[in-house]
């Protein structure tokens, strides 16, 4: 069974640029991913696998809105003092604790805005 390539250069019979060749040569080095199998998959197979992947849920409109909201803001570096147990609780959840602290503060600010109307 033959699968079409999703690579435009190969579909059109054009040669790839040297940089693209170097990138393709590096892909898969030191990983357990079956890159040959992946390269042979059609777009529809890739999309179906993505839809069925429990670790890759489809984003809802509210998730996209929150993501866009976060990207559009510039953050300011500050220094604050918190109780050690508060810091430990945020750090215990792993990397990204500063973003989690920011999310809690953002939730508080949004709640204050809603309550003041």
pLDDT of 96 over the 60 cut: yes
pLDDT of 88 over the 90 cut: yes
29-33, 37-41, 111-115: which range is least confident on average? 29-33
Contact 3, 41 (CB under 8 A): yes
Measured between alpha carbons, how far is 24 from 108 in angstroms, rounded to an integer?
Answer: 46
pLDDT digits 0-9 by tens, 36-72: 888 899 989 988 888 888 888 888 888 887 776 655 5
pLDDT the model gives residue 9: 46
pLDDT the model gives residue 37: 87
Measured between alpha carbons, how far is 92 from 40 in angstroms, rounded to an integer?
Answer: 42
Measured between alpha carbons, how far is 94 from 88 in angstroms, rounded to an integer?
Answer: 10
């Amino acid at each position: 069974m033959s699968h079409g390539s999703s690579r435009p250069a190969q579909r059109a019979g054009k040669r790839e640029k040297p940089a693209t060749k170097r990138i393709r040569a590096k892909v898969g080095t030191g990983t357990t991913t079956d890159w040959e199998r992946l390269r042979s998959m059609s777009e529809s197979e890739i999309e179906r696998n993505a839809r069925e992947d429990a670790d890759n849920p489809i984003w809802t409109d509210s998730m996209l809105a929150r993501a866009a909201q976060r990207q559009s803001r510039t953050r300011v570096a500050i220094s604050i003092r918190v109780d050690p147990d508060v810091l430990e609780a945020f750090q215990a959840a792993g990397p990204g604790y500063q973003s989690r602290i920011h999310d809690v503060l953002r939730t508080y600010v949004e709640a204050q805005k809603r309550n003041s109307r």
